[in-house]
Amino acid sequence: MHNDPFVIAIDGPAASGKSTVGRLVAEKLGFLLFDTGALYRAVTLAALRRGVPIEDEARITDLARTIHIELIPATVADGRSYTVLVDGEDVTWAIRSEDVDAHVSAVSAYPGVREALKHQQRRIARQGNVVMAGRDIGTVVFPEAPLKVYLDASPEVRAQRRCEELRARGEEADFDEILAAVRRRDAIDSTRETAPLRVAEDAVVIHTDHMNIDQVVDAIVKLARERLEDPA
Ligand code: CDP
């Protein structure tokens, strides 16, 4: 019997489809979606807006501890999956800017930032069955998660998907620049000392280069149903 909330951890590198897939899996199962990257992005945006230098670990860590971040159901029907509030202000699209993209990996490498956000992630996830998307959910935040998925794809496919996502929102996207940014972020995320991006021992790895979104979603939903029925 499952009395604790059921956590599905979906980890993987930049633009591997965690948010899109996570949202659809959550919808199909009636779970909440918790996209943890939004927290790291919110701290980065707050630093950029307040003029806190990204190298200033102490002040960035302090920001992570003090700003109030909320992820709530979408408040505007403009293609968003959820709304992100920082100290009450809607920053849902602002945290997706190129500037935030360029600095978020440096911010998320600070141990104090990760520690502050880990507590928030654990608190939120205890509220109900949840799909959590991130980098270290299966390894650090919820090592006891009953289902861990690691979504992978080649850097070229991920850059292509990110380009399409930006163009769909009416923004300009240069494939080469985006590919370079994806590779830079991969390098920082997987070599940092605290909670680097890596595959949890008991994760199911799904390579998505030759799969469409529905195929990936169906594969995860099937695994989740099996484990919900037979937790052992
Ligand atoms: O959507 P995309 O994969 O491009 O990024 P994201 O999931 O929003 O994460 C943005 C950045 O936050 C990542 O590149 C990581 O540096 C950091 N992050 C992390 O360190 N740990 C997490 N659990 C989630 C994100």
Tens digit of pLDDT for each residue in 32-52? 999 999 999 999 999 999 999
What per-residue string of b and e applies to 161-191 under the rule 16 or more CB within 10 Å gives b?
bbbebbeeeeeebeeeebbebbbebbebbee
Cα separation, 79 vs 56, in Å, equals 34
Pocket test for ligand 1, best of 103, 108, 119, 190 (most atoms within 8 A of CB): 108
Instruction: State the distance from the centre of ligand 1 to the C-alpha of 1, rounded, in angstroms.
Output: 33
**Which of helix, strand or coil describes residue 86?**
strand
Q: How are beta strands 7-11 and 147-152 bridged, if at all?
A: parallel
C-alpha dihedral sign at 104, 155, 164, 134: negative
Q: How are beta strands 89-90 and 82-86 bridged, if at all?
A: antiparallel
Q: Do residues 41 and 104 make contact, with C-beta atoms less than 8 angstroms apart?
A: yes
Tens digit of pLDDT for each residue in 125-159? 888 899 999 999 999 999 999 999 999 999 999 99
- Which residue, by CA, sits nearest to atom 1 of ligand 1? 15
**Which of helix, strand or coil describes residue 176?**
helix
Instruction: State the distance from the centre of ligand 1 to the C-alpha of 136, rounded, in angstroms.
Output: 9
Smallest CA-to-CA distance from 39 within 109, 104, 128 is with 104
Instruction: State the distance from the centre of ligand 1 to the C-alpha of 104, rounded, in angstroms.
Output: 7
Question: 7-226 maps to which CATH number?
Answer: 3.40.50.300
The atom of ligand 1 lying closest to the CA of 121 is: 23
Query: Based on the number of CB atoms within 10 Å of its own CB, is 211 exposed (0-12), middle (13-18) or buried (19 or more)?
Result: middle
**pTM of the predicted protein model:** 0.91
> Backbone phi, then psi, for 33, in 5-degree steps?
-110, 130
| Ligand 1 interacting residues, C-beta cut-off 6 A | 14-15, 18-19, 36-37, 40-41, 104-105, 108, 134-136, 185, 189
Mean pLDDT for 14-29 is 93
Taking residue 194's Cβ as centre, other Cβ atoms within 10 Å add up to 14
Element (H, E) at 185: helix 175-191
In the chain, domain spans: 7-226
More reliable by pLDDT, 158 or 168: 158
